[in-house]
Amino acid sequence: MEHILKYFPELTEVQREQFSQLETLYPEWNARINVISRKDIDNLEVNHILHSLGLVKFVRFTPGTRVMDLGTGGGFPAIPLAVYYPDVAFHLVDRICKKLKVAQDIAERIGLKNVTIQHGDVKEVKGKFDFVVSRAVMPLGDMVPLVKRFIASEDQNAIPNGLLCLKGGDLSGEVQQFKNQVLIDDLSSYFKEDFFKTKKILYLPL
């Protein structure tokens, strides 16, 4: 909790307890199902929870915002975001059922009421969302055609509706076709841990 509280001191007691539970429940599940790399589970707080919360530093979702997490795996970035935003609806989608089972169980055990889970392909998803979020799921050029139809036309946040991706490394080739539209934000400007030196947020209005 040390790193989370350093950057998010405004958390309520309920949120603090929920984040504390995440730090217990994910390692428990990871011992049974490899949701997070076994070499990386000791870095859960910074590399997974805090990384997910990087989106909070970029845009503050208004109550009632609808967010789809595409390729959520065990619930990143959506579960930490759902803790931070209890008045925002998160729809978690993945094709790997066993990882979704982890996300579902953890969401229920920490008392999240703003999370829904869908197993299957993104093409089976129905409804509209203000934002689609993802964490290192697929290249931008592959993702945009899949999610464009889900983006609602009416904006209710400080930035237009669109796609928010957490990525790392050299993204110059990936963003080339969107270079006049995409905004790249360095997470190292918000978080000082070494992990974030190469981590970025890609925002593409759609």
Question: Model confidence at 136, in pLDDT bands (50, 70, 90)?
Answer: confident
Give the tens place of pLDDT for each residue, 48-64.
999 999 999 999 999 99
Q: How long, in residues, is the chain?
A: 206
Model pTM?
0.96
**E strand spans, 34-99:** 66-70, 89-94
Are 72 and 102 in contact by the 8 Å Cβ rule? The answer is no
Given a contact cutoff of 8 angstroms between Cβ atoms, the answer to whether 201 and 166 are in contact is: yes
